[in-house]
Amino acid sequence: MSNVLEPSIRSAPSAPAGASAALAAAQAEQSAELQAVAVALRKAFGVAFSIWDCYTGELMHVSLQQPGSNDPHRGLLVRGVVGLEPQFVFDDDAALLLAIPFQLPGGVMVAATAAFATRSLEAHESSESLCEMLGVDDRRARQWLSRQMQWTPDSLVRLGAAVQAQYMAERQAARYCREVEKLSDSLASTYEEICLLHGVTQNLRISRDEEELSNLIVNWVLDCLPTRGAAIQLLPVAKDGNVTYKARTNSQLVTAGNCPLDDDRFTRLIEFLRLEAGCSPQVLNPNITSRPDWPFPEVQELIIVPMSDGQRLFGWIAIFNHNTGDEFGTVEASLLNSVGAMLGIHSGNRDLYREQAEFLASVVRALTSAIDAKDPYTCGHSDRVARIAVRLAKELGCDAEVLHTLYMAGLLHDIGKIGIDDAVLRKPGKLTDAEFEHIKQHPELGYRILADIKQLSDVLPAVLHHHEQWDGAGYPFRLSGDQTPLIARIVAVADAFDAMSSDRPYRKGLPFERVDQIFKEGAGRQWDPNVINAYFTAHDDIMLICQNERANLTLDVLQWS
């Protein structure tokens, strides 16, 4: 495909924020810190300080409330500051120039300076040194000095140290507050991520419908990650006409929030990015999506990861467009990758389970064909018994799992007849006592044939006991009442109905009216009365089953129309 992003570009990490934005943020932070230092000093000393860069001597914060506050010479003096303790950088007999160093966030060293009076000058005393410090003439210097509060050098140093300590304590407290907020946000985010992953693991059951599970997960992802839209594309796992049990034969897109792509465009996105099973998470931000050759303008930010098990690809999970316009990063990609890996393994297990179920279905069909081949005159009997048993079970309120088991049991209930002598099985006349005893062996023979197939263990009770009777007069174990498993009691009624109503080599099938009469007379004696009641309630449907042969009916009862 032409016009494709190069792999090195596709997998490139997201670009950092623009340099101008970062610089502006840093300058704003520095300005706020300088203001905080200036306010703290003015509050403590009652005098405004100017602040200088200790390395360059550059004036960073100016106060014009005292003479010489913006004099570049003070910047040169500040460059000579040593250490972090308050110190005097200019010493006059009547005044001192105090410099108080501060370390701002980011390691920037500054010093705040202000002049303080230590004594008054007599009229005859020279003010030359004071004039030099303040950068003014004698008259203005003496005026300034006369208005100042007098300090001792020791008190200036101690108060400067106290302001430093207060500033550092406030900075540390602010840092701790920010760290607590970040930790709180991180814990909240981590908790949401753990809840997401826990929710996924708790729902990874083989029997769970993948579309339903995907719908849950995309909504969880939408809640946990800063995204406007989330989607899972489930790929086909089977071809049309080649499935017995429910399986996807077309791709399906499950979405939550504002997903900008439909299934077709999602597939085109995968093709454009040349993604395949086992690839790493793909993180695309505006450094890529703003390019002229990007064919999906509705997608500005994107993370997409495969749902694969080894080299078997089952789908894709993606999030679209950051909900604040920021870029997606490694945190979101890592979480989405974990979810994708879990879903891939789950899909692999489901597909393996489906393949095993399909194999079992093939075995059941082969065994059913073997029964029909053994006794062609009763061909279709097992299928009708199976369908009638399912209808009776529905009337009795049985769940889907029991319906499935009953259909399989109905198909296989006579599998033991494979071991019955053909001469007896196909005999057109009445059986002798010995022949009847021989044919009565077929439930136990069937049980032994199927006993080693673990996946058919649920049908064994029906195979073994479908000739037991409610009053205990049946075979092979003369069980009575509810000693006989329910599925066997249901198959017994379905089997008896088809046997009585169907033509056999030795007789014509009984009219339905006569069959109904026999059932009424045998309820509570030969058959479970509850199952007989279900037969009469579902009577019309059972008549339709007898009239309509349905070749190749799927073994998945839930797919029947």
Q: Note the pLDDT tens digit of each residue in 61-74.
A: 988 788 989 999 99
Q: Which of 356, 382, 358, 360 is nearest to 369 (CA)?
A: 382
Confidence of residue 330 (pLDDT cuts 50, 70, 90): confident
Greater model confidence, 21 or 142 = 142
Q: Which amino acid is at 531?
A: V
Confidence of residue 294 (pLDDT cuts 50, 70, 90): very high
Least confident of 104-108, 399-403, 455-459: 104-108
- Whether residue 352 has pLDDT greater than 90: no
**Strand arrangement of the beta sheet that strand 227-234 belongs to:** 252-257, 227-234, 312-322, 302-309, 282-284
Confidence of residue 446 (pLDDT cuts 50, 70, 90): very high
- Whether residue 342 has pLDDT greater than 70: yes
The number of CA neighbours under 13 Å toward the Cβ of 515 is 21
Residue 57: what are its φ and ψ, rounded to 5°?
A: 75, 10
In this prediction, residue 385 carries a pLDDT of 92
Least confident of 173-177, 339-343, 424-428, 527-531: 424-428
CA 245 to chain centre: 26
* Rounded Cα gap, residues 277 and 351, in angstroms: 16
In this prediction, residue 63 carries a pLDDT of 84
In this prediction, residue 423 carries a pLDDT of 82
- Whether residue 75 has pLDDT greater than 70: yes
Q: What is the mean pLDDT of the segment spanning 260-272?
A: 95
- Whether residue 143 has pLDDT greater than 50: yes
- Whether residue 187 has pLDDT greater than 70: no
Greater model confidence, 33 or 550 = 33
* Rounded Cα gap, residues 89 and 100, in angstroms: 10
In this prediction, residue 555 carries a pLDDT of 64
Q: What is the mean pLDDT of the segment spanning 234-261?
A: 81
Least confident of 44-48, 310-314, 372-376: 372-376
Confidence of residue 9 (pLDDT cuts 50, 70, 90): very low
In this prediction, residue 5 carries a pLDDT of 39
- Whether residue 551 has pLDDT greater than 60: no
Q: What is the mean pLDDT of the segment spanning 199-222?
A: 78
- Pair 496, 410: CB distance under 8 Å: no
Greater model confidence, 130 or 365 = 130
Residue 262: what are its φ and ψ, rounded to 5°?
A: -90, 180
The beta strand positions in 286-355, using DSSP E, are 302-309, 312-322
In the 8-state DSSP scheme, what is residue 136? Answer: S
* Rounded Cα gap, residues 114 and 98, in angstroms: 6
In this prediction, residue 338 carries a pLDDT of 87
The number of CA neighbours under 13 Å toward the Cβ of 292 is 0
Q: What is the mean pLDDT of the segment spanning 146-164?
A: 95
- Whether residue 351 has pLDDT greater than 60: yes
In this prediction, residue 458 carries a pLDDT of 94
- Whether residue 324 has pLDDT greater than 50: yes
Rg of the chain taking only CA atoms, in angstroms? 45
The number of CA neighbours under 13 Å toward the Cβ of 5 is 25
- Whether residue 3 has pLDDT greater than 60: no
Give percent of the chain above pLDDT 90. Answer: 53
Confidence of residue 7 (pLDDT cuts 50, 70, 90): very low
- Whether residue 275 has pLDDT greater than 80: yes
Greater model confidence, 275 or 331 = 275
- Pair 37, 51: CB distance under 8 Å: yes
- Whether residue 22 has pLDDT greater than 80: no
In this prediction, residue 382 carries a pLDDT of 87
Confidence of residue 26 (pLDDT cuts 50, 70, 90): confident
Give percent of the chain above pLDDT 70. Answer: 88
Least confident of 150-159, 286-295, 382-391, 495-504: 495-504
In this prediction, residue 189 carries a pLDDT of 62
Calculate the average pLDDT of the chain. 86
In this prediction, residue 8 carries a pLDDT of 30
CA 438 to chain centre: 60
